[in-house]
Structure 1
């Protein structure tokens, strides 16, 4: 039996991340929420996230607690620093 994924977390919901979050929410009826931690993020990133329907958890701890799956969506040049 395949587990149902209802909450997907996105780390770095900027240009790529917010768009992927929007697609997940529009095309996967089982996924009820896409979440992220917007602390320390720019106003632009916050606006992009909110416009995509991504919910701010307020902390990394809460993000980890709520997430069924975590996606880290960053450009290749930033991947090592995020890892």
Structure 2
């Protein structure tokens, strides 16, 4: 058998999907910042407002930052 097995491809595809979503978050946040409508979130001393901060947050803790970004932009998936 040559190449990767389908079982080995699943984590790679998931990683690529997450990186694609993180890249979309960065591009969308950057575009909103250019338009003068930055995406910002604060909780106590934590403040996320730059495209780079959104990208890094979603890269490190995607399960928290992706829904948070959607909510902060008005695209609430939980409505």
TM-score, scaled to structure 1: 0.28
* Higher RCO structure (Cα 8 Å, ≥6 apart): 1
The structure where helix makes up a greater share of residues is: 2
Q: Which has the larger radius of gyration?
A: 2
TM-score, scaled to structure 2: 0.28
